[in-house]
C-alpha cells in the first residue's frame, strides 16, 4: 500500500531530479521551444517541495492536489497547468483514502493523464509529454520500474516525430530530430515513482 509519505517522496525525488536535469531540459527546449523548460519546472517543483515540507498533507490525494496547485501557480509556462492538471487530477481521483493500492494509483494516474489530454488537446504521437505518460500508464500494471522504462522509451521515441502541439508545432518539419523536452521531463516524473518505491 502507498501512503502519503510515499507520495511526498515521489514529489521530492522529482524535485531533485528536475533540479539535476534542469540544464538538459532547457537545452532540449532551445532548438524547438523557448529555452525555459528546465528553469520553469525547477521553480515549480522547488515550490512543491517547500509547500509539502511546510504543511505536509496526510493523505495521498491531498499531497498530489497541493502539488498540482503549486505547479499551476508557480511554473509560468505551459508545463505548469499541464503537470498541475496531471497531479491534481490524479490526487482528486485518489479521494481521501489514507492509503491506496498500486492498482488504485494506476487508475487514478490514468485519469490524470486523460485530464492532461483534454486540457492540452494532445494525443499520442504529437511529440508532447503524452508520449511518455501514456506508455508509463500502460506499463504501471507491471510495477514502477516498468513504468519508468516505458516513459524513458517513450521520451526517446519522440525524436523522429513532428510536433503537432505546443510552440514546437510552429516549426513544422524542423521539429523533427529533436527529443521533446516535455516528454523528457515526464519521464523524470515517472522515474520519481520508482525512486520513491526504493527501486
Minimum CB–partner distance for residue 82 and another protein (Å): 6
* Number of shown-chain residues binding another protein (CB under 8 A): 20
Q: Does 40 bind another protein (CB under 8 A)?
A: yes
- Of residues 85 through 114, those in contact with another protein by CB under 8 A are 85, 88
Convert 105-121 to b/e letters by CB count within 10 Å (16 or more is b): bbbbbbebbebbbeebe
Give the span between the Cα atoms of 122 and 179, in whole angstroms: 17
Q: Does 77 bind another protein (CB under 8 A)?
A: yes
The count of other CB atoms within 10 Å of the CB of residue 190 is: 27
Q: Does residue 78 contact residue 166 with C-beta atoms inside 8 Å?
A: yes
Q: Does 26 bind another protein (CB under 8 A)?
A: no
Residue 43 dihedral angles phi and psi, to the nearest 5°? -60, -45
> Binder to another protein among 5, 20, 76, 159 (CB under 8 A)?
76
Give 5 or 34: the residue with its C-beta nearer to another protein.
34
**145: its cell numbers:** 520500474
Residues near another protein (CB under 8 A): 34, 36, 40, 69, 72-73, 76-82, 84-85, 88, 119-120, 166-167
Amino acid at each position: 500500500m502507498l501512503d502519503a509519505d510515499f507520495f511526498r517522496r515521489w514529489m521530492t525525488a522529482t524535485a531533485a531530479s528536475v533540479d539535476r536535469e534542469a540544464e538538459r531540459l532547457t537545452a532540449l527546449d532551445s532548438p524547438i521551444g523557448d529555452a525555459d523548460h528546465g528553469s520553469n519546472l525547477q521553480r515549480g517543483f522547488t515550490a512543491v517541495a517547500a509547500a509539502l515540507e511546510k504543511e505536509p498533507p496526510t493523505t495521498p490525494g491531498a499531497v498530489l492536489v497541493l502539488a498540482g496547485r503549486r505547479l499551476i501557480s508557480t511554473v509560468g509556462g505551459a508545463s505548469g497547468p499541464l503537470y498541475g492538471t496531471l497531479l491534481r487530477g490524479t490526487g482528486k481521483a485518489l479521494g481521501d483514502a489514507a492509503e491506496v493500492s498500486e492498482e488504485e494509483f494506476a487508475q487514478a494516474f490514468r485519469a490524470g493523464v486523460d485530464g492532461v489530454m483534454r486540457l492540452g488537446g494532445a494525443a499520442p504521437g504529437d511529440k508532447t509529454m503524452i508520449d511518455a505518460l501514456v506508455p508509463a500508464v500502460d506499463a504501471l500494471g507491471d510495477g514502477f520500474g516498468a513504468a519508468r522504462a516505458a516513459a524513458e522509451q517513450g521520451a526517446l521515441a519522440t525524436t523522429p516525430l513532428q510536433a503537432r502541439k505546443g510552440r514546437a508545432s510552429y516549426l513544422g518539419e524542423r521539429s523533427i530530430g529533436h527529443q521533446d523536452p516535455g516528454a523528457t521531463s515526464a519521464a523524470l516524473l515517472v522515474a520519481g515513482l520508482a525512486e520513491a518505491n526504493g527501486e
